[in-house]
Structure 1
Amino acid sequence: MSPPKRPRVTPKITLSDGSIFELLPDESVSEALARAEDLRAQGLSPANVKAADVAGQPKTTSLSYDDDEHAKIAEAFDREKAGEASESDKILLDVARGKGGTDGATIKSKFVAAALCNFIGRVENINAEIKDRQWDRKEIYTEVKIFGFDVPTVKRVVRLRQIERALREEQAALDQIYLEATEGEDGSDIPLPSLPEAKKARRKSQARLKKDKARDAMEADARAAREAVAARVEAVSKSGLGSHKGGAR
């Protein structure tokens, strides 16, 4: 006596909303996700559509998938299951699951829309972290005040330490540039200017540039004034008023 036949198990996947969706025979996961998106576009719930009810019907989809996109979605799905999905994989899977773009849009346009939303979300997360850090700093200064320390003095010390660190980094960068320029020689005959001297020279250069800019602006103003006077004189001369000084009263 032959053993009883086991009932055929219909493969299923879990959609992004947590509902269970049945796959058709020989249907890939990416095709099933596209079909679920198409059902949503028609106002239907994918969870209420059974595979047995649609078996044999022609496959339709509102997404313009090609073979390469099917392969990319399948690979992204595999990496997601392995916990190795990249940001691009997550965006592509969100698109395939119906989270990006508008109904009837192509897969590429949906990918662009989902990518934009992803970037905006990441920036918003960073802004939220910055805001949290600002609150953390405020709480620290509150504790500083409770302990009896002068808050402005502590802030000034923090700024000075930042400046000192920046100066050390700048000096190290200057040393590195110098060593690279001299090809590792000790350079005893070419003294490297100290940081204060370099800063002083830079300030002088900036002051000279500012002075030159101010002089150029003054010369431009004077030139414009002379041109305006010349134009006025020419206009008066052409009108004939210049030859009737103190005309009839």
Structure 2
Amino acid sequence: MKYPLTIAAIALAALMSPAEAAALKESGDPLDSARWADMEKAFLAGAPVLFDPRVKVIAPSMAENPMQVPVTVDATALPGIVEVVVFADFNPIVQVLRFFPEGAPAYLGFRVKLQQSTPVRAAVRTTDGVWHVGGTWVETVGGGCTAPSAAAASPEWQKRLNEVSGRQWSEGPNAGRVRLRIVHPMDTGLVAGTPAFHIEEINFTDAAGKRLMRVQTYEPVSENPVFTLQRVAVDGALEASGRDNNGNAFRAAIAP
């Protein structure tokens, strides 16, 4: 694997700025995590891996609320993307989500629960089979995965389960941006007496029915999740549809 990976790294470096090319690494975790070897084995086993500065994971260096940590993954500078997997090394449930950009750029914002300070990473697989990895450390007081959801204390959430609200920008500096919120407790199953209950999949399609992005979500995504994505062009409503792990489905259109 080492020889073809070296060829891939040389080819990639030729297309990048000098600063980006200097940051491209084939080995040696730049975040110096004790769990990187476990993460590589769990998610990227057997495939070439490059630490690539074009995979940007944007999150606060210090998160005051471990149940609602904002994260944005931006891999739009990387061509030929097949899938993106997001994980947090030191979370009790490591995998946060996966997304598959089809007709939309590889850009997704969301919020995550963190149990303790941890690297948050995105690994991007391209058509040549190489995983391009970026990430950042997030410091937090912790406990986000084992704290009960706010919904647990409210009788109202069941009436609004999977209710979708959102906005789509058609002009100005945010043109093409879409943001939506889904009412759901996103229980991790790590609170005594509360089973795992979370959204499993979301599909985003345009007005013609073409899928823009598919997102697989897991327990660490925050309660009442908010997602932000970017469209290449605004040509009508965006439809979001999906289901949770109990089979509850939702569908909603977000007009420009």
Both proteins in one fold, TM over 0.5: no
- TM-score, with length taken from structure 2: 0.18
With a CA cutoff of 8 Å and minimum separation of 6, indicate the structure with the bigger relative contact order.
2
Q: Point out the structure with max Rg over C-alpha.
A: 1
- TM-score, with length taken from structure 1: 0.18
Counting helix residues as a fraction of each chain, which structure ranks higher?
A: 1
Counting strand residues as a fraction of each chain, which structure ranks higher?
A: 2
